[in-house]
Amino acid sequence: MFGLFGKNKPIKIRSRNENKKYGVAAKDVKELLKKGCKLLQLPSPGAHVCLYSDGTTVTEEFFQTLPDHTELVLLCRDQTWSGVVCDIGQLLKTDRYADGLIEAAKGLLSDEKSPQRRKILTDLLLNLEDRSELESREEHEEWFKGVDARFKTKSAYMKFNCEGRMRGYMKEVHGATKTIQKAKVREEFLKTSKSLSEMLKTAKNNGCYFDRTEKERLCTREGWFTCQGSYEQKVCQSLHSINPYGSRESRIVFSTWNLDHRIEKKRTIIPALLEALQNHKSSDINLNYFYGLLFTWENLKLVHIVCHKKGAHNLLCDAKKIFRKASDTNKAKQNVKGKKRRLV
């Protein structure tokens, strides 16, 4: 990462009190502050910069991860910037009633005979319902720059983005096979890995989490995501938020947000699975429990890069949930025997 320092990065910068943005090229935050203060005629002591989108303070290390032409706000010593979303609650409230408004509009449209009124209601539905089909590549060329041509809508790309993260987790699970020395344990682990992979494929890689057209989405219908805070917190204290559907810049910055495993994948979950299979068969393992820990919101949190703590989480798997209950195992055996009898 430190090899990136020294290369000028083009940035868009503005002050807190005006909307006009200026282009500035700087190799680091120090140079950006020097040029920005001179350009905007602001006092340099105590000056700092933050993201225009959500108000996150830009440190030297964070600056190097920003995409070119990121919009920043230059602030004086005592100034703050909360980002473009000042009232998250209001956005959530709007999302809460959107479904009811859509259904009401559909009901009126089905009974309406007047062509003029039908047009008005149709226009209303287009504004209320998800606009992903309207957000084509032709109408939003800037947003789709750098995106593979096979993606025709924003939602399709965001869904693929989430699917890719999930597939990456599955790849890490399967990769643990290389560390197993005992042939029997390796065989049972491969069976378990295959079963988890099939479960994930059945759920379409849980791509719905980033798709604002899905019911199981993590964002509002407008596409706003909010940080859920670090693994030990219930909520994000800084109220970080972002809408990757809004602009190309936000889409790129969103890639730095993490799907963080509260109970850690590499340090805890995979080792616990390996340990469980030392003296047990794959059929003894509670696959639903491990699937939930690896691929669902039971254990995942969406966090801003600032809230992502990379140190050990010190959280363990629940020993009572690692193995299937005896009653479940017996039922499975009985079902198999029943099938065999019917075949005979």
d(CA 163, CA 200): 10
Q: Are strands 9-15 and 70-75 parallel, antiparallel or unpaired?
A: parallel
DSSP calls for 249-302: HHHHHHTTSEEEESS-IIIIIHHHHHHHTTSS-GGGB-HHHHHHHHHSTTTEEE
Q: Give the Cα separation of 320 and 53 in Å (integer).
A: 44
Classify burial at 321, counting beta carbons within 10 Å of its beta carbon; exposed 0-12, middle 13-18, buried 19 or more: middle
10: alpha, beta or left? (left if phi > 0; alpha if psi -120 to 50): beta
Find the helix or strand (DSSP H, E) in which 36 lies.
helix 29-40
Q: pTM for the full model?
A: 0.63
Whole-number Å distance between alpha carbons of 237 and 2 = 29
Query: In degrees to the nearest 10, what's the CA dihedral of 159, 285, 233, 49?
Result: -40
* Rounded Cα–Cα distance for residues 56 and 124 (Å): 35
pLDDT tens, position by position, for the chain (344 residues)?
A: 444 445 789 999 999 877 788 999 999 999 999 999 999 999 999 999 998 877 888 998 889 888 888 989 999 988 888 765 433 333 333 444 445 555 555 555 555 555 555 555 555 555 544 444 455 676 788 899 999 999 989 999 999 999 999 999 999 999 999 999 999 999 999 999 999 999 999 999 999 999 999 999 999 988 999 999 999 998 898 889 999 998 999 999 999 999 999 999 999 999 999 999 999 999 999 999 999 999 999 999 999 999 998 889 999 999 999 999 865 545 544 444 444 343 33
Answer for the pair 282, 195: CB distance below 8 angstroms, yes or no: yes
Residues 13 and 40: their CA atoms lie apart, in Å, by: 9
Q: Is the dihedral of CA 30, 31, 34, 38 positive or negative?
A: negative
Q: Are 241 and 87 in contact (CB under 8 A)?
A: no
* CB atoms near residue 228 (< 10 Å): 21
- Cα(203)–Cα(233) distance, rounded to whole angstroms? 28
Q: Is 171 helix (H, G, I), strand (E, B) or coil?
A: helix
Between CA 147 and CA 128 the distance in angstroms is 26
Query: Quick one: which of 52, 88, 72, 71 has its CA closest to 222?
Result: 88
